[in-house]
Every structure is written in C-alpha cells, then in structure tokens.
Amino acid sequence: MTMHEKQMGAWEAYKRYWKNGVTFEGRARRKEYWMPQLFHLLFSLIAAALMAIIAAVVFSMSSSPDEVGPGIVLLPLIYFGIILFSLATYIPTLAVSVRRMHDIGKSGWWVLLPIVGPFVIGSAMMILNVILLSSSSYQEIAPSPVVMILPAIMVLIMLGISIWFLVLTVQDSQPGTNKWGMNPKDPKSPDRPMNMLTMEQERRMHEFYRQQEREERSLY
C-alpha cells in the first residue's frame, strides 16, 4: 500500500458492496470485490454448519428414523433463507464484478463469459447426448474416443474460463483515470462511482475553464 493510497477496511468494503449494489458504472478495487465474497463464504459455512448441527441433534433425539422432532422444520427454513440471500446478492455481485473489470481497464461485458460460457457448453453437451441417444447407431458411436473425451474437454474449458476470470479479479487497479472513472485507490475518488454523464459533464467543465485560462493568457 502506498503512502497516498485511499484506505478501505473490510467492513467498509462490504458496506460499499451494498451501497453500490445496482451501480454498473465506475470502478471497484480488489478489496471491494473480494471482501464481500469472503463474507458470503463465511455466511454459507456458518449456515451449513448450523444445518448439520440441527440435523444431528434432531435425529439423535428421535426414537426411530421415522419419528423426528419438531426442530426438523428449521432445516427448510434455513435452506430457504440461503436461497433468498443468494437471490439478494446476485445483482450486487454482478455489479461489483462489472466495476472490477472496469478497474483493470476491461469492458464489463467480460463478466458474461463465466456466466454464459458454462450454459453454452452444458447446452452443447445436452444436445450432443440427445443426438447420440436418438441415433440408431448409438452403440457403434458410444465407444469412440472422441465422444468419450469430449465431456472432459468441455469441463476443462469451463475450468479454464473460471481460472481466467479469477486472474482478472485479482489484478491491481489500472493506474490513474481510465474511461470508467478515477482510480478507486485515489484519495480524491468518490465513494459512489460517478455515472458516465457526470464524468462527461465534469470533463467538459474542465475543458471550458482551461480554454478560458488560455484566452486570458493570450490577451496579455
């Protein structure tokens, strides 16, 4: 961390994750992206451990496998809470991922690759299986090395996409100001990313004042 770098604690990064939850413009530094992921992982581990403890206690207190205590109703409630939390964090996570791409100088559209990629690859595998199963010569095609290795290749492609995106998210911020805004590590950067219209207005205002200064100097 440099001497003049804007500091951000873990809790501040998490608060900013929610505050900018629907903001797809601007930039987000590494801590703003990774701290929420760590908090959510911790939440998932706690929820999973809680479900395991409740299940163990309930089944240990039951007299038979067919008779369980009323505490078992807590399991679907916790699971439902996890689903709701996942839905609530989907858009903020997508937004901070887009801003993280902007921060390293890349288009936010790259975020779609790890989302759409597995869907396209999975759909291709499903279509291939349907074609093979409906083929009258399936028994002849199935042992083919190409057919056997194709799913492994697709899995490796998905793994490669995930690793590639992971590498992008751990890259440091692009120095200075890029077309998506100021470096979020700059002490002068705002807490909320400015939208592109505001940035354009600010740029034109600076150009206007610089033009006035040049005209005033030319008079003397």
Say whether both 70 and 157 belong to one domain. Answer: no
Give bridge partners of residue 181 from the DSSP assignment: 178
**64 and 140 together in one domain:** no
Distance in angstroms (rounded) separating the CA atoms of residues 50 and 78? 9
Instruction: Answer with the one of 143, 170, 197 that is the final residue of a domain.
Output: 170
What's at 11, amino acid-wise? W
Residues 33 and 67 placed together within one structural domain of the fold: yes
CA distances in angstroms from 147 to 62, 116, 120, 160, 198, listed in the order given: 49, 23, 18, 21, 54
Q: What is the mean pLDDT of the chain?
A: 79
Q: What angle do CA 51, 56, 58 make, to 5 degrees?
A: 95
Q: Are residues 56 and 136 in the same domain?
A: no
- In a shared domain, residues 100 and 129: no
185 and 160 housed in the same domain: no
pLDDT value of residue 146: 58
pLDDT at position 2 is: 47
- Answer yes or no: do 5 and 25 share one domain: yes
25 and 93 co-located in one domain: yes
Query: What does the block give as tokens for 172?
Result: 């440091």
Residues 133 and 81 in one domain: no
Provide the pLDDT for residue 63: 62
Q: Model-level pTM? A: 0.72
- Per-residue model confidence as pLDDT tens digits over 177-218: 888 888 888 766 665 565 544 555 555 655 665 676 677 666
Assess whether 156 and 51 both reside in one domain. no
Q: Which residues lie below 8 Å from residue 43, measured CB to CB, with a gap of 6+?
A: 85
Residue 58 sits at the vertex; the CA angle it makes with 52 and 60, to the nearest 5 degrees, is 100
Q: What is the pLDDT of residue 216?
A: 67
Select from 170, 188, 204 the last residue of a domain: 170
List, run by run, the mean pLDDT of 10-residue segments along the chain (220 residues).
65 92 91 94 91 82 63 81 92 94 92 85 77 60 62 83 92 88 76 54 59 68
Q: What is the pLDDT of residue 6?
A: 67
Same domain, 84 and 11: yes
Identify the domain containing residue 91 by its residue range: 1-104+179-220
Verify that 76 and 16 share a domain, yes or no: yes
pLDDT at residue 64, as a whole number = 59
- CA angle, residues 115, 84, 38, in degrees to nearest 5: 65
Query: How many structural domains compose the chain?
Result: 2
Task: Count Cβ atoms below 10 Å from residue 62 Cβ, excluding itself.
Answer: 14
